[in-house]
Amino acid sequence: MAQTTIAVGDLIYEAAIHFTKVTEYGYSLTAFLAGQQAPPLAGARIDVAFEGSLLGPKLKGRISGVDYLRIRADGHVQLHIHAEIATDDGQKIAFFADGVASPEEGTAVLRLRENVTLTTSSPAYEWANHLQAWGQGTVDPAKGEIKVKAYAA
């Protein structure tokens, strides 16, 4: 997949991801999402391991990694994601994203906004090293599901 022509706004991938493990550090993600526990003033740390699939015109494969969440006192969630993409043709791409997840009023769903950077030494995906992508989507923590679409920025 040696596609090198990417214009701003081009769809890079759509991700369908699910939680594989949640690690809490003295603060309950479930209680927070149910509105039963406010975040501490200093914020709270929760790690969410995940895996899933990427489908799109530029990238196809599997993704797995960890989001090192920081739940802020205002209820917004800072994202700090490190992952590995294994492409359908056997290549590896390092994935990093940061951003914010904001609660959708009246639901337990979070709205995602991500800044995505990809890195690889694979000649077939060298174009990814020069790409800045912007992701948007949702997280449904009750179901452990994440849906994201990423576009060239």
Give the pLDDT confidence of 94-142 residue by residue, as tens digits.
Answer: 999 999 999 888 888 999 999 999 999 999 999 999 999 999 999 998 8
Q: Where are the domains of the chain?
A: 11-152
Q: pTM of the full predicted structure? A: 0.92
Calculate the alpha carbon distances from 25 to 71, 102, 108, 118 in Å.
11, 21, 21, 29
How does pLDDT run across 20-59, given as a tens digit for each residue? 999 999 999 888 878 889 999 999 999 999 999 999 999 9
Task: For the domain made up of 11-152, give the CATH fold.
Answer: Porin (2.40.160)
